[in-house]
Amino acid sequence: MRTRRGGLSYPPLLPLSTMCSNKALSERSSFNTLTPRPNRNRNNKMPSSQQQFVIRKRHKTLSLLSSSSSDTTTTTVGGSELLEILPDDLLLSILAKLSSSSNSPSDFIRVLLTCKRLNTLGLHSMVLSKASQKTFSVKARSWSESSHRFLKRCADAGNIEACYTLGMIRFYCLEHRESGRSLISKAAMRCHAPALYSLAVLQFNGSGASKDDKDLRGGVALCARAAFLGHVDALRELGHCLQDGYGVKQNVMEGRRFLVQANARELASVCNSLHARTNITWSIVPNQNPNLNPRVQYAAGCPLLSDYGCNVPAQEPHLANRFMIEWFSNRGGSAGPNRRLCSHLGCGRPETRKREFRRCSVCGVVNYCSRACQALDWKSRHKVECAPVERWIDDDDGEDGGEVAVVDS
């Protein structure tokens, strides 16, 4: 320590070589923190193309971050640039999660309209295969060629719900029988329970063909497969088939067991919903909303439990059934000349030929596509409306569908 005149002390001077080396080290360390060095192998080989791509992305990110700290205008540009440099697989996983949890089609469409890249990735097969019913929940009054193409694109991507929904719309509404049946069969082959049950109804009625093409045994087999997967309507249909010996050897006790199981599953599915749990009431006849169109509104209660005085809110029909109900309601409640709709308000299936469905054996006013729909409608409203009348006088051409007996179970 050297001391100058006046009592001030100064540190000893370092050699010039030491000062230069320290300055070089500090500059090198600061440079290393801002600029990543390319990773080289031990054999001093050049990095791979993937590594070079990562290095370029890092350089671009660092330049954006450095520019955003100095200028606020550049920050906005840098935010959009950061979206552009995100990898595609990350954006695809985010969009797939969004499509599976959207509450309406507008939620998903707004994301697609954000930028060109999201619009392109949002129509990727990975995203469309995960789309939920609410994502492609199109209304019958808003049906257009673009909505048809979007549903077709979802079905081609492997979305089972879209495949089944588009198949039902084509078969019953657009009357494209072959393509509709193939789409329903495609969903059924992937163990989609509603598709299996719908194929069973087609086999029972010979829909899309003549009455000689009915396959009762095939319908029972499809119903049994859907019932094994827990489909309530399939359980109910299989129970009535066993009780009546329709397409299968009669077994009343086994049929009753399937009907009880259908009721238990229906009650459990409704009670699992917190909203529905607060609406459980006790009454014999469920209340209907008089302000709704009779064809649009469906059964307001779980009708098969009315034997015990319990009125449980019914589950909302499937998207395909809601579409068919609205579609034919907008066309005057008719599927065409001499073709009737299923009288169950939550079904919406029309006849594909004259007198395809079976009608009530007591009054002859109502007709049903299946025993399950007949049982539901009987408990919900037809039980208080049915009255014996004279035998029908308009049967000159014969009855194709036959009569359906009154079901009370």
Q: Would you state the pLDDT for residue 406?
A: 47
Total residue length of the chain: 409
pLDDT at res. 66: 55
What pLDDT sits at residue 409? 43
Beta strands in 342-402 (DSSP E): 358-360, 367-368
Nearest to 192 by CA among 136, 218, 230, 219: 230
Q: How many CB atoms lie within 10 A of CB 314?
A: 20
Question: d(Cα 200, Cα 231) in Å, to the nearest integer?
Answer: 12
Torsions phi, psi for 350 (to 5 deg): -100, 165
Dist. CA 125–CA 264, nearest whole Å: 38
- Given this model, what pLDDT does residue 116 score? 83
What amino acid occupies position 82?
A: L
Give residue 323's pLDDT: 94
pTM of structure: 0.71
In the chain, which residues fall in CATH 1.25.40.10?
191-279+303-315
The DSSP bridge pattern shows strands 403-404 and 358-360 to be parallel
Please give the Cα distance from 233 to 318 (Å, whole number).
Answer: 12
Class of domain 191-279+303-315: mainly alpha
Count other Cβ atoms within 10 Å, centred on residue 392. 11
Residues of the chain under the 70 pLDDT cut: 1-50, 53-54, 57-83, 273-314, 389-409
Contact status, residue 108 vs residue 137, Cβ threshold 8 Å: no
pLDDT at 81: 61
Smallest CA-to-CA distance from 368 within 343, 386, 392 is with 343
pLDDT digit string, tens, across residues 294-327:
444 444 445 455 444 455 666 778 899 999 999 9
- Which residue, among 270, 285, 237, 247, has the nearest Cα to 409 in the 3D structure? 237
Residue 17 CA to residue 310 CA, distance in Å, equals 96
